[in-house]
A and B are shown apart, each in its own frame.
Chain A
């Protein structure tokens, strides 16, 4: 089991460019989440999904879009990157909403210049 993997690990974008972050899990989990973590801060929820084909907004969804076309994958898109989106992005998954344990990926470090 690879668990939760994230692609890419690092990326540098120029302001206005777009990109997609991929999260994949091989644990057959229903629920998936995207968080961002700014320096010295805790994690903040961007978007989440409670099953294939569903998505919902979290605390800080502006400037991001997501898709969950396959159960095992959760994509996070930045259509027009801004310096304020410089952050570390973590993906997580859990079997069900009332499960107590979320499994996190290793993170993607994104810098927008």
Chain B
């Protein structure tokens, strides 16, 4: 299974951009990278996903390096409500027809006033 590596924790000032890195050097060429977040004790929430190109939606932007070995999730204007654990996820092997995701320990983002 493709493995992801994230920093354990990060801080960000309210109103500033939060840049969360992820290494996924073993990901296959046709495997997407997914980002979810989990706000204190709630169920995880989908944020964004990408394959090769950079992606943007109403929540965040995802920048994927050309070699696909790493990516960065960007929250452009972090608010206190963005304090959460952020998971960078690669799918489990052979999961194209099962949807199985492998959650690591994620990055705890603390947004400070």
Contact = CB atoms under 8 A, between A and B. Distances in A.
B100 A45 contact: yes
B95 interface: yes
Instruction: Pick from B42, B49, B101 the residue with the most CB of A within 10 Å.
Output: B101
Contacts, number: 62
Interface residues of A, number: 30
Interface in A22-43: 31, 33, 35, 40-43
Interface string B30-57: 0010101000011111100100000000
A47 to B, nearest CB: 11
A70 interface: no
B103 A44 contact: yes
A33 B98 CA distance: 10
A50 B98 contact: yes
A4 B44 CA distance: 12
Interface string B86-99: 01000000011111
